[in-house]
Amino acid sequence: MTSVSPTRLAGERRRLVVKVGSAVLAPAGVLSPERVALIAGQVAAARASGRVEVVLVSSGAVAAGLGPLGWREPPRTIVGKQTAAAVGQSRLMRAYAEALAAHGLEVAQVLLTGEDVRDRTRFLNARRTLESLLSLGVVPIVNENDSVAYDEIRFGDNDRLSAHVAHLIDAELLILLSQADGVRTGGGAGELVPVIEDVASAWAHVGKGTSRVGTGGMATKLEAASIASGSGVEVVIASGVQADAVSRALAGEAVGTRFPVRASAPEARKRWIGYSTRVTGRVRVDGGAVRALVERGASLLPGGIVAVEGAFDRGAAVEVVGPNGVTIARGLTGYGAAELDRVKGLRSSEIEGVLGVSYSEEIIHRDDLFVFARRGTAAEGAQ
């Protein structure tokens, strides 16, 4: 059988995140026990070798709540979705518990919101909980806490959530199980694309829209692939109704669309800064600063800053944007917006004379900076 880009730790102990969406679990709009059993069987098969730890990220709480509430259509309002999720989450977990118990596996419910990964302390607490569950042989089942989440603290879809969970537990592989069998050309109607090295190139193949019962679509899966592959996690998008999709993806076989890791994984704290923090402002820099950050791995100094956008305090996460409008980095600033506006374009030695205090010579120290741009692309970002 043809093999493509085998996963990095074949034959060794590995950690896997499997994400399954509402459209797979509830093809007719209500939760399907047969589909839950199909997913449970794939998780159990992955676990059977004794060398694979699995975290399952599952949608379906809203769909599971429709029947008990007597609703025929998914709710459109936030409160309606939260109500259905509150009713359906326990039913979703019961379905998984029964399906995985048939394979001798215990499950645990883990509900997260965006704040649980954006706040460093909560991020580490969530990691410790998941690590403990995995060490005990339990299958954690993660979902967004829809019944309490609101726009400012929600992920919005479980595709992005699964990418953050993969980062959270240092997974080697993220498998996104979908209605589609991978990325296809022509907005989904053409040929299957087996391997995509550059996520940006895949957007031409994507049609817009969401499923009837879900919040995602291929676009959110590509966003998840970008987040995960950029933080050292390989990604596969495959069919959620193909019984051997997970095992084949684990084996590195040609199934669905595979996104190889784009680069070596940065250390954990920088990945958190780059992909999990809430951005509260932007710092626009000149071409010289872009080259210093990307090519030399330098800290951001005030002299390279040309504009400050947003209202933020010291310690906030901000985007660093080059002259062409492309975000090249994200970091934790050592100065607030008002202070930055006063010292932009100056030498570091002039900061204290202007502000009356100098917290540091760097606006963003390189230890607090995650650079998205690859080496060799500085010229493009500096334009």
Please determine, for residue 374, whether its predicted confidence score (pLDDT) is greater than 70.
Answer: no
pLDDT digits (tens, 9 = 90+) for 130-170: 999 999 999 999 998 866 655 544 566 789 899 989 988 98
Between 255 and 76, the higher pLDDT residue: 255
Q: Where does the chain hold its CATH 3.40.1160.10 domain(s)? A: 14-269
Distance CA 247, CA 234 (A): 15
pLDDT digits (tens, 9 = 90+) for 218-274: 888 988 888 888 778 999 999 999 999 999 999 999 999 999 987 666 676 787 788
Rounded to the nearest 10 degrees, the angle between the axes of helix 218-230 and helix 268-275 is 150
Specify the DSSP element, H or E, that contains 112: strand 107-112
Q: Where does the chain hold its CATH 2.30.130.10 domain(s)? A: 278-381
H-state helical runs in the chain: 22-25, 33-47, 61-69, 78-101, 115-118, 120-135, 158-168, 218-230, 245-250, 268-275, 287-295, 337-343, 351-355, 378-381
The answer to whether 146 and 205 have CB atoms below 8 angstroms apart is: no
Please determine, for residue 29, whether its predicted confidence score (pLDDT) is greater than 70.
Answer: yes
Q: Give me the torsion for CA of 160, 165, 166, 167, rounded to 10°.
A: 90
The CATH homologous superfamily for domain 14-269 is Acetylglutamate kinase-like (3.40.1160.10)
From residue 330, give the alpha-carbon distance in Å to each of 182, 305, 316, 366, 371: 30, 14, 10, 10, 7
Q: Give mean pLDDT, residues 168-173.
A: 91
> Which one of 1-10, 277-286, 297-306 scores highest in mean pLDDT?
297-306
From residue 150, give the alpha-carbon distance in Å to each of 77, 224, 317: 12, 20, 21
CATH 2.30.130.10 fits 278-381, yes or no: yes
User: Which of 9-13, 192-196, 211-215, 231-235 has the lowest average pLDDT?
Assistant: 211-215
* Through-space distance between the first and last CA atoms of the chain, rounded to whole angstroms: 46
In the beta sheet, which residues pair with residue 193? none
Give the model's pLDDT for residue 206: 67
Band (84; pLDDT cuts 50, 70, 90)? very high
User: Which of 26-40, 55-69, 185-199 has the lowest average pLDDT?
Assistant: 185-199
